[in-house]
Amino acid sequence: MSVVEANLEHDVHAQDEHEHHEELNFWRKYIFSEDHKVIAKQYMITGIFWAIIGAAMSVVFRLQLGFPGANLSWLKPFLGKWITETGAIDPNFYLALVTMHGTIMVFFVLTAGLSGTFSNFLIPLQVGARDMASGFLNMLSFWFFFVSSVLMFISIFLETGPAAGGWVIYPPLSALPQAHMGSEMGMTLWLLSMAIFIMSSLLGSLNYVTTIINLRTRGMTFTRLPLTIWAFMITAILGIISFPVLLSAALLLIFDRHFGTSFYLSEIYINGEALPNVGGSPILFQHLFWFLGHPEVYIVLLPALGITSEIIATNSRKPIFGYRAMIASLMAIAFLAFIVWAHHMFVTGMNPFLGSIFMFLTLIIAVPSAVKAFNYITTLWRGNIVFTPAMLFSIGLVSLFVSGGLTGIILGNAALDIQLHDTYFVVAHFHIVMGAASAFGFFAGIYHWFPKMFGRMLNNTMGQIHFWLTFAGVYLIFMPMHYIGIAGFPRRYYQFTAFDFAKSFTDMNMFISVAAILTFFAQFIFLWNFFYSIFKGKVAPANPWKSNTLEWTTPVNVGHGNWIGEIPAVYRWPYDYSKPGAPDDFIPQNVPHSQTLESNFPHENAYIAQEKEIEAQNYNDQFAAH
């Protein structure tokens, strides 16, 4: 059988598979689906649910901080016994709110919600694959995440309350169930939930890397991958290396809590009673936690940067500036992320010489980060910019990335960090550079790929209103926090009215709280736009943004298998925008150079000879194995 005949047979079989999957019952098609696009939507909806819960928690504790003497009895129907007889929030529950807010937003929203949605949705579509390497493992990854979510959600309603020790759950507080209410069953469920979450993350990451390496379509070399795919792959590698370390830290903490070990405990007294634990070190937990904790910053941020790269190039109608430099900067950031974890631990009694090494390595991260920032700005420079909501959120991300990164340079200096450690300066820094920036990437991705996900368009005007309210709100919340942090405001404190130095900042705390509440309610504009447009939005055209990547070559309503018949081959990189001589301002990746002679650069004419070789390759299609 000839290669052409074999490929035709594979195409027919792929089409049969496509039709077969459309006949699946409701449960297999929408609940226990193995279709990467359905799984991506499951991650997205679950992430949005958790974002509402996590943001609502922040509103509650901002009410306490901004209006410490206010009567909050009106919250009693929602919070029950956690509102005291005087109408104040119970101090134990305040710490639990801070703990759960951080956990939910970092892991369930910005890790699972962001990466789970767009890695699942875009990797097969942009590399030219029918689905993920393993549809079953992909499904399993989501359901592990869902079980983890259920356990965490149940812990909120425990009689003793959820985990309360900060999202970093440092021992010995988290290792001793008798220490306080937030270390009882709520902490146990927190640890179980995180262990299952890590299994979910590892299954997903292995699937992502395998799919990108093995299932690229004909002609899709690594130098023709969109920057989104590079970001997702490097993020997955970060997770594969670092998440098992957090799993080991959680398992050792479970042993200390329930099996009498002393990995993190030594010479502890509770109510005058000496505990038998000796020989452990709580600093060990910090090393293990932050070995994941700092790569986690980039596990959250790199997918957002990849999404931003694609959107800025598309809506600037220009090639991305410095494609290879952008890839190199992603790799450099990922490498450095593993060797700077102890900059979170300058106040632990670390040897000053060792601290200076971690300080030096931390400051070096500014170099690849600046490469990305300058390349974004250069891509925007003199571009024919289209200000879609996705583009606005992408530009907003660049703004946050730069402003948050500048404060990171301050905190990377050990002498300054020792003074600012555990103050609101740190809270402001990581909320801007990791939290808000990554959330902007999440929003940008939803606005950009919503037409491909649901076959309908979001309302453009509502999207722009949503951006401006959110962008202004983020800066109004977190910029003042830098000032109160420099003044010495410590994080996680229930109230500041007992300190004379803090009383002068009462109005500023009130201002931050009002800004946070208004920004929270601004998100309901997005929620209405999102859910309304799924059912009633304007029907989307096949390629609404005139983009070059492969996902826009699929049908508007994509079925399982993505392409009916042949998977397109790739002949060029994904950023051929506004090319001189071309009739249109974009040339999709599946258009051969032999069809664009009038716009080819001299070196690109050499690629014409390679087209026949690409056509002769076997289809890189997992269904062909059947």
**531: alpha, beta or left, given left = phi > 0 and alpha = psi -120 to 50?**
alpha
SS3 337: helix
Domain of 270 in residue numbering reads as 3-536
Backbone angles phi, psi at 487, to 5 degrees: -70, -10
Residue 412 banded pLDDT, cuts 50, 70, 90: very high
Contact 287, 340 (CB under 8 A): no
The DSSP result for 384-453, as a single string, is -----HHHHHHHHHHHHHHHHHHHHHHHHSHHHHHHHTTBHHHHHHHIIIIIIHHHHHHHHHHHHHHHHH
Stretch 432-457: mean pLDDT: 96
The per-residue pLDDT for 22 is 52
Residue 205 banded pLDDT, cuts 50, 70, 90: very high
> Quick one: how many helices (H) and strands (E) in the chain?
20, 2
Long-range Cβ pairs for the range 204-207 (8 Å, 24+) = 204/115, 204/116, 204/119, 204/120, 204/138, 204/141, 204/236, 204/239, 205/235, 205/236, 205/237, 205/239, 205/240, 205/243, 206/137, 206/236, 206/240, 207/132, 207/133, 207/134, 207/137, 207/138, 207/141
**Paired tokens of 429:** 């820094």
Contact 368, 336 (CB under 8 A): yes
**Paired tokens of 158:** 């425990």
Residue 71 lies in a domain: yes
Residue 336 lies in a domain: yes
Residue 411 banded pLDDT, cuts 50, 70, 90: very high
Residue 604 lies in a domain: no
Number of domains observed in the structure of the chain: 1
pLDDT of 564 above 70: yes
Contact 570, 128 (CB under 8 A): yes
Distance separating alpha carbons of residues 590 and 508, to the nearest angstrom: 55
Backbone angles phi, psi at 274, to 5 degrees: -80, 130
Stretch 196-204: mean pLDDT: 96
Stretch 524-533: mean pLDDT: 97
The per-residue pLDDT for 593 is 87
The mean predicted confidence, pLDDT, of the chain is 91
Which residues 6+ apart lie within 8 Å of 550 measured at CB?
Answer: 125, 126, 127, 128, 217, 568, 570, 588, 589, 590
SS3 626: coil
Pairing outcome for strands 269-270 and 273-274: antiparallel
The per-residue pLDDT for 612 is 76
Cβ-count burial 544-577 (b if 16+ within 10 Å, e if not): bbbbbbbbbbbebebbbbbbeebbbbbbbbbbbb
Which residues 6+ apart lie within 8 Å of 554 measured at CB?
Answer: 125, 452, 562, 563
The per-residue pLDDT for 55 is 96
CA 466 to each of CA 57, 245, 392: distance values in angstroms, whole numbers, following the listed order: 21, 38, 10
Residue 577 lies in a domain: no
User: Identity (one letter) of the amino acid at 601?
Assistant: F
- β-bridge partners, 269: 274
pLDDT of 131 above 90: yes
Residue 431 lies in a domain: yes
Residue 61 lies in a domain: yes
Contact 100, 57 (CB under 8 A): yes
How far, in whole angstroms, is CA 43 from its chain's centroid? 12
Percent of the chain with pLDDT over 90: 77
Say which CATH number the domain at 81 has.
Answer: 1.20.210.10
Render pLDDT for 169-182 as a digit per residue (tens, 0 to 9). 999 999 999 888 88
pLDDT of 51 above 60: yes
Distance separating alpha carbons of residues 15 and 13, to the nearest angstrom: 5
User: Identity (one letter) of the amino acid at 338?
Assistant: F
The per-residue pLDDT for 614 is 76
End-to-end CA distance of the chain: 16
Distance separating alpha carbons of residues 147 and 143, to the nearest angstrom: 6
Residue 15 banded pLDDT, cuts 50, 70, 90: very low
* Lowest model confidence (mean pLDDT) among 104-113, 288-297, 494-503, 592-601: 494-503
Residue 581 lies in a domain: no
Distance separating alpha carbons of residues 468 and 475, to the nearest angstrom: 11
Distance separating alpha carbons of residues 75 and 289, to the nearest angstrom: 35
The per-residue pLDDT for 5 is 36
Stretch 592-608: mean pLDDT: 88
SS3 358: helix
Stretch 594-602: mean pLDDT: 89
The DSSP result for 123-158, as a single string, is HHHHHT-SS-S-HHHHHHHHHHHHHHHHHHHHHTT-
Residue 296 lies in a domain: yes
